[in-house]
């Protein structure tokens, strides 16, 4: 029998600020908030509802790719997805349930080492915790035991395989170059194979700890071709490539590939459709059966055994050197070296080892067994509720921990960050000042800060000294120490700054949750606000409590803003100033419009103060958006008035055969686009208004069929389609959809119909055979290219 298994490794490096547990706005990911959100829209979401088209480019099916392939998602990525994209998150979990019905009780999903640490380079404690956290995270989300655990970069050695087997893992997925030798079970002679291992079978690996684990070596050339060629340009081509690999052997043959999951939609646009079509073609082929590794292993246990190449991986020709030396593997920047990799790892090893000393000495005061407590800390990472903390403390806490919970939790957070700082992406690319490397140094900074709070010992200077030995490729940065000072230190966010960011957010955006400041609970907030033209003052008291460490802090604060960018934000611990005197004086200075003195007084009286430019980019954007909204309103009014006054003049010029001045045409396009968007977005689309506006557009020779007006058409179309999906039996909704599509075509718009097509398809599936009986539904299907 012939079998096919496609594995997708879905993962993104953690991007959250180590203090705020939130991702900062990333302009490079526009129009999305950040790269996680963008990749989710381009890949994770489309694969949950992938479109299958026929030869006429009509939609014939919507299917979950996840339910028919093997996959793993990084635990830190799933944590983000659960909070930010809950519908996609639920679709991933549901796909695993569906796959168990399809694959004889074996699910598509497998676990992953928690934060993508290179396990062969990890010490024994980190290796154990990474595996335990990855397995617990999986069980918590998917509701079952995993059969395997994906290794970051497939980096592997025998010690790691032993750890996986000890944890109950049945198999591991590796690259072909990671196989050293094979032999038939029962034979004595090993055959050296290198990258030439036959990937079509499972192999048994006997381990020195007396346990066994199965090895699957994926098809390397085809996996590489999929990732870096045009194989995914069509589903037909993809299927043909996969199905061409079988031979005439009567033995069971497993054709399997493994790539980054982001290949399907993010790296290659619409590749999720090629994957969906390919899976459909395979399902239609009576000679080939889709499977996952666990099912294949149950049906066809290994008849061969194998040994691995020690310290090998799928993305470094030199094994695991990419994550500790200047091995030559890089992302292609000519002339750059990676001599910083070794010193960076040495600096982080220094941090890790110093924090182990703290954890093993101080930790014994707070935990019965510090390392057992760390292994179980994943329970609190996934559930910060007081009930979960109580259960955890009942198992692990000493009497001292019950008395001083914040210190106990800071010790565990210190260790969490000491593992996050080993996330593999920090070494993968070419330069120590890259965002991935800065991110892992940020985790080191957070771990060192927590250690400093708990012990009073400051290891940061020694860490920075070691970073100075890591040379940068960028002349002005020189080394890792300067990189750390320039890019990491500004991200440090003490609780005073968290409080101020929350206050500024509340002042700029009424939709902000007043009771939650990032990972802190707002216990009290007593502001006093004053406003004048172009100036704002707010001072008062605020109390925050960290939901992570339970640290609680009451503070006095003051925020003074003048204009769009000039702002001073200050805070100090309770009791650090005479609040009655300071607050009275601040109000007096503001009321007397002594703004310079007001700003100086805040800086003088408060312990910590920050300019607006130092705030989280999201907070800065809220302040700027508030200012820009007012400017936009004034601009809209001014341009609309100008257009109304000058339009008759422009028409007169046209009638005389004279050109209309370009500045007026720019104003006209702005105003007409504004009015069109308002008419399109109205609860009931104002067709008469749109017709009149489009007549004006035509008269002036303008083109508004692209850009923001077309985006508004797409938004409205999607909303109408969503309404149809919720109540497909309502023929009035169908009629409105068809009419809207007709008008969009008449007026020359070209909306993105993907979401609308999906919603309407789902609604029509609910109606079943009734769809073909209604003229309006057949017309709607034609408009959206849905096959009936």
Do 487 and 501 fall within a single domain? no
CA distance 635 to 586: 34
Looking at residue 571, its pLDDT comes to: 92
Do residues 3 and 202 touch, judged by C-beta distance below 8 A? no
Do 145 and 33 fall within a single domain? yes
Residues in Cβ contact with 771 at an 8 Å cutoff, skipping those fewer than 6 apart: 764, 777, 778, 781, 788
Q: Is residue 393 part of a domain?
A: yes
Q: Is residue 392 part of a domain?
A: yes
Q: Is residue 311 part of a domain?
A: yes
The total of other beta-carbon atoms located within 10 Å of residue 523's CB is: 13
For tokens 């997805």, what's the residue?
81
Looking at residue 241, its pLDDT comes to: 96
Q: Which of 424, 457, 491 delimits the end of a domain? A: 491
Do 123 and 95 fall within a single domain? yes
Q: Say yes or no to pLDDT of 436 above 60.
A: yes
Q: What is the pLDDT of residues 492-517, one digit of tens each?
A: 999 999 999 999 999 999 899 999 99
At 168, the pLDDT band (50, 70, 90 cuts) reads very high
Three-state DSSP at 347 gives: helix
Q: Is residue 632 part of a domain?
A: no
Q: Is residue 239 part of a domain?
A: yes
Q: Is residue 585 part of a domain?
A: yes
Distances (CA, A) of 562 to 66, 420, 559, 587, 622: 52, 40, 10, 15, 15
Do 397 and 472 fall within a single domain? yes
Residues in Cβ contact with 688 at an 8 Å cutoff, skipping those fewer than 6 apart: none
Q: Which of 491, 517, 552 delimits the end of a domain? A: 491
CATH number, residue 9: 3.20.110.20
Looking at residue 562, its pLDDT comes to: 86
Section 406-432 average pLDDT? 98
In SS3 terms, 9-43 reads as EECCCCCECCCCCCECCCHHHCCCCCHHHHHHHHH
Q: What is the pLDDT of residues 294-350, one digit of tens each?
A: 999 999 999 999 999 999 999 999 999 999 999 998 887 888 999 999 999 999 999
Looking at residue 566, its pLDDT comes to: 67
Q: Which two tokens stand for residue 58?
A: 């009509």
Do 397 and 289 fall within a single domain? no
Q: Say yes or no to pLDDT of 565 above 80.
A: no
Please provide residue 568's backbone torsions phi and psi, each rounded to the nearest 5 degrees: -125, 130
Do 654 and 594 fall within a single domain? no
Query: By percentage, how much of the chain surpasses pLDDT 90?
Result: 88
Do 473 and 509 fall within a single domain? no
At 702, the pLDDT band (50, 70, 90 cuts) reads very high
Section 668-675 average pLDDT? 94
The total of other beta-carbon atoms located within 10 Å of residue 299's CB is: 15
Do 254 and 350 fall within a single domain? no
Do 656 and 693 fall within a single domain? yes
Looking at residue 162, its pLDDT comes to: 99
Please provide residue 148's backbone torsions phi and psi, each rounded to the nearest 5 degrees: -155, 170
Section 619-642 average pLDDT? 87
Do 38 and 169 fall within a single domain? yes
Q: Is residue 631 part of a domain?
A: no
CA distance 696 to 563: 38
Q: Is residue 679 part of a domain?
A: yes
- Residue count (the chain): 788
Omega cis (within 30) before 308: no
Q: Which two tokens stand for residue 377?
A: 């800390």
Q: Which of 321, 349, 370 delimits the end of a domain? A: 321
Section 384-388 average pLDDT? 95
Do 121 and 247 fall within a single domain? yes
Containing structural domain, residue 767: 645-783
Do 681 and 611 fall within a single domain? no
Q: What is the pTM of this model?
A: 0.94
Please return the burial class of 509, using the count of CB atoms within 10 Å of its CB with bins 0-12, 13-18 and 19+: middle
Domain count, the chain: 4
CA distance 148 to 378: 19
């Amino acid at each position: 029998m012939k079998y096919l298994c496609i594995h997708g490794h879905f993962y993104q490096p953690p991007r959250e600020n180590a203090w705020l547990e939130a991702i900062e706005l990333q302009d490079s990911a526009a129009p999305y908030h950040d790269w996680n959100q963008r990749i989710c829209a381009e890949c994770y979401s489309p694969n949950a509802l992938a479109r299958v088209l026929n030869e006429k480019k009509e939609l014939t099916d919507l299917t979950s790719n996840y339910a028919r392939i093997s996959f793993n998602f990084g635990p830190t990525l799933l944590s983000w997805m659960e909070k930010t994209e809950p519908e996609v998150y639920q679709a991933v979990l549901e796909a695993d349930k569906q796959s168990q019905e399809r694959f004889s009780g074996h699910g598509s999903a497998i676990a992953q080492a928690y934060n993508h640490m290179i396990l062969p380079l990890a010490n024994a404690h980190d290796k154990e915790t990474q595996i335990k956290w990855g397995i617990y995270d999986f069980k918590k989300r998917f509701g079952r035991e995993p059969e395997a655990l994906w290794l970051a970069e497939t980096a592997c050695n025998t010690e790691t395989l032993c750890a996986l087997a000890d944890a109950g893992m049945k198999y591991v997925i590796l690259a072909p170059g990671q196989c050293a030798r094979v032999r038939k079970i029962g034979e004595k002679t090993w055959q050296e194979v290198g990258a030439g291992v036959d990937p079509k079978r499972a192999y048994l690996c006997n381990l020195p700890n007396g346990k066994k684990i199965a090895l699957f070596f994926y098809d390397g050339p085809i996996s590489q071709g999929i990732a870096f060629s045009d194989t995914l340009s069509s589903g037909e081509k993809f299927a043909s490539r996969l199905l061409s690999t079988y031979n005439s052997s009567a033995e069971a043959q497993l054709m399997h590939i493994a790539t980054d999951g982001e290949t399907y939609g993010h790296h290659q646009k619409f590749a999720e459709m090629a994957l969906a079509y390919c899976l459909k073609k395979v399902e239609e082929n009576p000679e080939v059966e889709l499977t996952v590794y666990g099912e294949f292993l149950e049906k066809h246990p290994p008849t061969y055994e194998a040994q691995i190449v020690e310290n090998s991986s799928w993305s470094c020709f030199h094994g695991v050197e990419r994550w500790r030396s200047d091995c030559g593997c890089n992302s292609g920047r000519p002339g750059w070296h990676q001599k910083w990799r070794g010193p960076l790892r040495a600096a982080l090893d220094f941090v890790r080892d110093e924090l182990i000393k703290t954890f093993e000495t101080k930790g014994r005061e707070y935990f019965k067994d510090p390392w057992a407590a760390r292994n179980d800390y994943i329970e609190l990472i996934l559930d910060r509720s007081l009930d979960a903390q109580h259960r955890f403390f009942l198992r692990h806490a000493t009497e001292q921990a019950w008395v001083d919970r914040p210190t106990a939790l800071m010790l565990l957070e210190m260790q969490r960050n000491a593992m996050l700082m080993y996330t593999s992406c920090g070494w993968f690319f070419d330069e120590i000042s890259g965002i991935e490397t800065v991110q892992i140094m940020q985790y080191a900074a957070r771990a060192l800060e927590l250690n400093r709070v708990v012990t009073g010992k400051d290891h940061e200077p020694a860490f920075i000294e070691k970073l100075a030995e890591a040379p940068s490729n960028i002349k002005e940065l020189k080394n890792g120490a300067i990189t750390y000072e320039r890019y990491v230190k500004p991200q440090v966010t003490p609780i005073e700054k968290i409080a101020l960011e929350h206050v500024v957010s509340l002042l700029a955006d009424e939709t902000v949750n007043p009771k939650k400041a990032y990972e802190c609970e707002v216990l009290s907030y007593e502001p006093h606000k004053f406003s004048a033209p172009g100036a704002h003052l707010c001072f008062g008291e605020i109390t925050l409590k960290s939901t992570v460490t339970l640290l609680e802090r009451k503070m006095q604060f003051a925020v003074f803003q003048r204009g769009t960018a000039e702002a001073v934000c200050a805070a100090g611990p309770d009791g650090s100033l005479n609040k009655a005197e300071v607050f009275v004086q601040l109000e007096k200075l503001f009321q007397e419009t002594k703004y310079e003195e007001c700003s100086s007084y805040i800086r003088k009286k408060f312990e910590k103060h920050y300019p607006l430019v130092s705030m989280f980019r999201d907070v800065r954007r809220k302040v700027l958006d508030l200012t820009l909204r007012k400017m936009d309103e004034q601009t809209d009014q001014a341009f609309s008035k100008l257009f109304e006054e000058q339009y008759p003049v422009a028409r007169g010029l046209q009638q005389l055969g004279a050109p209309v001045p370009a500045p007026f045409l720019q104003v006209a396009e702005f105003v007409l686009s504004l009015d069109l968007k308002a008419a399109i977005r109205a609860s009931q689309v104002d067709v008469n208004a749109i017709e009149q506006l489009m007549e004006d557009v035509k008269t002036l020779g303008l083109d508004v069929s692209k850009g923001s007006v077309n985006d508004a058409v797409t938004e409205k179309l999607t909303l109408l389609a969503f309404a149809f999906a919720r109540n497909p039996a309502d023929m009035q909704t169908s009629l409105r959809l068809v009419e809207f599509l007709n008008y969009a075509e008449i007026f020359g718009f070209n909306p993105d119909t993907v979401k609308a097509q999906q919603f309407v398809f789902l609604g029509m599936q609910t109606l079943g055979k009734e769809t073909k009986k209604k003229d309006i539904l057949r017309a709607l299907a034609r408009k959206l290219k849905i096959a009936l």
